[in-house]
Amino acid sequence: MSANPIEMQNFTLMDEDEIQQRIVAAKAVLGDRLIILGHHYQREETFRHADVAGDSLKLSRSAANSKAEFIVFCGVHFMAEVADIVSRPEQIAILPDLAAGCSMADMANLANVERAWRELSEVLEPDEQITPMTYINSAADLKAFCGRHGGIVCTSTNARHVLEWAFEKREKVLFFPDQHLGRNTGFSMDIPLEEMVVWDYEQPMGGLTPEQIKNAKMILWKGFCSVHQLFTPEYIDEFTEKYPETNIISHPEASFEVCQKSDYVGSTEYIINTIRDAEPNTRWLVGTELNLVNRLHEQFKHEGKNVHFMSGTVCMCSTMFRIGPSSLLWVLENLVEGNVVNQIKVPADEAEQALLALNRMLDVSP
Ligand code: 13P
């Protein structure tokens, strides 16, 4: 091991081609000791180095099944935390840029969720009547909260199966942090909109009356992904007026109105597979992050598939695709030198409880 880690600043002004070549070289030296997991939202220059590319569920499974000593996550903080929790203790999870986060995940924090649980206990018996269910886009301490209160984690792929599991356990579900995934999934299971109330974490009792809480089947945290809120039913209408043959496909983090107007709704992996398997010469309007939409366009244009972004305005999630090739190279060359930088380590007691909720999810996922 070298005495000091190589500093990041050595890489920031490096020529792009050189960075690309050195990443390939460092991967070759590390061999089976390394796995790079890449979420579909990553920018191309980083994404191309992923050994496994996938949505949140696929990447969680890859982390759980990997034997590699180093799991380098080209994704965001909560994904690297999951990799640390589901992998063996001697494996090391690394996030090349610590600023890679998810603003929606930050909309629910442990203090607010615990306060909600206490306030709900003024009206109900939460530990008997409510299953807490967190979207994987959340911090490890919230997954641990779900673990110790008989709850569970979900991703956009398995939300329906997980919700069915949650309702088998208790009559109500507290779903956080993404109200849209909760509402879209609940509605697809025939839960009426009036039985899904929104918990405003900035207000006492979530801004709800005791009656509203008692009558609700799902209590949805007031969180959202700003990128997916860009998509509107009006834009879909305008677009389909021009191109009536368009297939509409959205991620379930988009609003209820957008998902209702969509022909297909599903995770990033589902979106890719649906467009890949579609007939040639088809047109697609896609409601998810722009890097993925651009990649789909490039990948399938030779089949005459036209893939469009569902908005005239570009709003990138600057934290989701934060990891650039220079930070990836920085962590890899440090590993070659025997230095671990940017390790993500969840405290042991928290990891143990979060693992309960994650394993429940992995067990019920198809
Ligand atoms: P997927 O699991 O569909 O990849 O979603 C992750 C995510 O954060 C979407 O915004």
The pLDDT value given to residue 366: 85
Ligand 1 atom nearest to CA at 155: 2
Q: What is the band of 1 on the pLDDT scale with cuts at 50, 70, 90?
A: low
> By the 8 A CB rule, do 46 and 296 touch?
no
Which tens digits make up the pLDDT trace of 332-341? 999 999 999 9
**282 and 334 both lie in a single domain:** no
Which tens digits make up the pLDDT trace of 191-244?
Answer: 999 999 999 999 999 999 999 999 999 999 999 999 999 999 999 999 999 999
Q: Two tokens at 36?
A: 């790079």
d(CA 133, CA 172): 10
The predicted model gives 257-268 an average pLDDT of 98
27 CA distance to ligand 1 middle (Å) = 26
Same domain, 204 and 245: no
Q: Which of 62, 137, 231 to mutate to test the pocket of ligand 1 (most atoms within 8 A of CB)?
A: 137
Q: Among 223, 248, 282, where does a domain finish?
A: 223
Same domain, 114 and 80: no
Tokens 């615990």 locate to 114
Q: In this structure, are 125 and 84 located in the same domain?
A: no
- Nearest-angstrom CA–CA distance, 115 and 107: 14
pTM for this entry: 0.96
Q: Is residue 357 part of a domain?
A: no
Tell me if 42 CB under 6 Å of ligand 1: no
Which residues share a beta bridge with 310?
none
Do residues 180 and 254 both lie within one domain? no
Rounded to the nearest whole angstrom, what is the distance from the C-alpha of residue 55 to the centroid of ligand 1?
A: 6
Spell out the residues 6+ positions from residue 169 whose beta carbon is closer than 8 angstroms to its own: 131, 150
Closest Cα partner for 11 from 99, 98, 96? 96
Ligand 1 binding pocket includes 55 (Cβ within 6 Å): yes
Domain assignment present for residue 362? The answer is no
Instruction: Encode pLDDT of 89-145 as tens digits.
Output: 999 999 999 999 999 999 999 999 999 999 999 999 999 999 999 999 999 999 999
pLDDT at 2 over 70: no
Ligand 1 center–CA 114 separation, angstroms: 25
Q: Which of 42, 56, 138 to mutate to test the pocket of ligand 1 (most atoms within 8 A of CB)?
A: 56
H-helix or E-strand containing 284?
Answer: strand 283-287
Nearest Cα residue to 54 out of 177, 156, 180:
156
Q: Are residues 276 and 197 in the same domain?
A: no
Q: Specify burial of residue 169 (Cβ count, 10 A radius: 0-12, 13-18, 19+).
A: middle
289 CA distance to ligand 1 middle (Å): 9
Does residue 305 lie in a domain region? yes
The pLDDT assigned to 86 comes to 98
Question: Does one domain contain both 151 and 218?
Answer: yes
User: Do 283 and 337 lie in a common domain?
Assistant: no
| Domain co-membership, 339 together with 307 | no
Q: Record the tokens describing residue 187, joined without a space.
A: 């509605």
Q: What is the tens place of the pLDDT at every residue in 13-34?
A: 999 999 999 999 999 999 999 9
165 domain-assigned: yes
Q: Is 56 in the pocket of ligand 1 (CB under 6 A)?
A: yes
**Based on the domain organization, do 216 and 138 belong to the same domain?**
yes
Ligand 1 centroid to Cα of residue 70, in Å, is: 23
Nearest CA to ligand 1 atom 4: 55
Sequence letter at residue 59 = L
CATH of the domain at 193: 3.40.50.10800
Span 313-328, pLDDT tens digits: 876 777 878 899 999 9
pLDDT of residue 231: 97
What is the number of H-type helices and E-type strands within the chain?
A: 17, 13
Structure tokens at 345: 């380590």
Residue 141's nearest CA partner among 335, 352, 309 is 352
Q: For residue 357, is pLDDT > 70?
A: yes
Residues 89 and 126 occupy one common structural domain: no
Domain that holds residue 282: 228-316
d(CA 221, CA 50): 33
pLDDT at position 87:
98
Rounded Cα distance, 130 and 123, in Å: 12
Domain count, the chain: 3
For residues 199 and 267, membership in a common domain is answered with no
